[in-house]
Amino acid sequence: MIRLDGKTVAEHVKQRLLPRIEHFKSKIGRSPHLVVVLVGDDPASQVYVKNKQLACEKLGMKSTLLRKPANLSQADLEKLISELNTDDAVDGVLVQMPLPSHLKSDKIFELLDPSKDADGFSYFSTGLLWAGKATVKPCTPAGVIEILKYYKIPLKGKNVVVVGRSHIVGKPVAALLLDENATVTVVHSHTVNMQEYTQNADVVVVAAGKPHLLGKNDFKKDAVVIDVGIHGTGKGNLHGDVRFEELEGWVSAATPVPGGVGPMTIAMLLQNTVSLAEKRKF
């Protein structure tokens, strides 16, 4: 079984960005600039945001973190987004999810300027994605495709099953797989006998958000398994939606957790920010 190493692919993406960042600096006189808005004290979000900042700085990009209290009002958050929309020194904006329960993420997706939508979640960006015209693509789904391409896993004409239909992963990854000319089926919690679909797939992308949901018996021999799930409390205690240890000797390739899709999310965020900066300024 080939271990699909997201860290290796992420580093490849970052190295590919370096000349683009230097070119932007030479033309515009500053680095591409990502602003991350963090509302509240969610521990996992704080770790993710810190990693995003470190990755930006390592590539010579500018990263600004705007921390806001958990009791921030909807009106104040919308005001902040409007200000960032009009700030010419800002190229990409990311509002870290999840937001506190009293805040409406839908409103933020509507309000955020698509030309600065670093996460690719605005409804305008989603429309472009399904039309096959996206400037930026949602980071985790784009990372899945990048891994498959890096390891030269063919998608054209292949039977691909996506487990999960979230706005963040399931739906957009299905759109990107269709763009690669795969035959795509999306299964979810209301699918009757989901195993019938996963057992017949050449590639399975698992984004159900349920720990250890699927194992060896859910996949056909020599399938490719991409596990997007991540669960646990620490580096030594992380696991995915798939029981990875069962797959050895059965599937042809699979992503581990951690170290699979996870590192790609940040790499694709950086790529999105650079792409948005270039589109705005060049």
> What is the tens place of the pLDDT at every residue in 49-74?
999 999 999 999 999 999 999 999 99
Q: Which two tokens stand for residue 207?
A: 């984004």
Mean pLDDT of 91-106: 95
Question: In what side-by-side order are the strands of the sheet with 92-95?
Answer: 62-68, 33-39, 92-95
User: With bands split at pLDDT 50, 70 and 90, how would you rate the model's confidence at 205?
Assistant: very high
* CA–CA gap between residue 74 and residue 48 (Å, rounded): 23
Q: From the candidates 96, 117, 227, 271, give the one annotated as an active-site residue.
A: 96
In the sheet where 203-206 sits, what is the strand order? Answer: 2-3, 253-254, 224-227, 203-206, 159-163, 183-187
Select which of 52, 137, 158, 171 is catalytic: 52
Residue 161 pLDDT greater than 70, yes or no: yes
- Residue 39 · residue 68 · CB < 8 Å: yes
Interval 229-270: pLDDT, tens = 999 866 568 899 999 999 999 999 999 999 999 999 999 999
Q: What is the pLDDT of residue 22?
A: 98
How far is Cα 202 from Cα 155, in angstroms, rounded to an integer?
A: 9
CA nearest neighbour of 132 among 168, 166, 176, 170: 176
Conformational region of residue 268, where left means phi above 0, alpha means psi within -120 to 50, and beta covers everything else: alpha
pTM listed for this prediction: 0.95
235 annotated active-site: no
Q: Is the pLDDT of residue 150 over 70?
A: yes
Is 15 assigned a catalytic role? no
Query: Is-catalytic flag, 52?
Result: yes
Percentage of residues in the chain with pLDDT exceeding 70?
Answer: 99
Structure tokens that stand for 205 in this block:
């992308």
pLDDT number for residue 234: 60
Residues 6 or more apart whose CB falls under 8 angstroms from that of 17 comprise 59, 270, 271, 274
Q: Is the pLDDT of residue 121 over 80?
A: yes
* Rounded CA separation 209/64 (Å): 30
The whole-number average pLDDT for the span 191-205 is 98
Residue 132 burial by Cβ neighbours in a 10 Å radius (0-12, 13-18, 19+): exposed
Q: Is 221 exposed, middle or buried (0-12, 13-18, 19+ CB in 10 A)?
A: exposed
- The pLDDT-based confidence of 45 (bands split at 50, 70, 90) is confident
Structure tokens at 91: 């190229």
What one-letter code names the amino acid at 255? T
SS (H, E, C) 1-66: CEECCHHHHHHHHHHHHHHHHHHHHHHHCCCCEEEEEEECCCHHHHHHHHHHHHHHHHCCCEEEEE
Tell me what pLDDT residue 233 has.
64
Pick the catalytic residue: 91, 119, 202, 227? 119
Residue ranges of domains in the chain, CATH in brackets: 29-113 (3.40.50.10860), 139-262 (3.40.50.720)
Q: 42: pLDDT confidence band, cut at 50, 70 and 90?
A: confident
Is residue 153 within 8 A of residue 198, CB to CB? The reply is: no
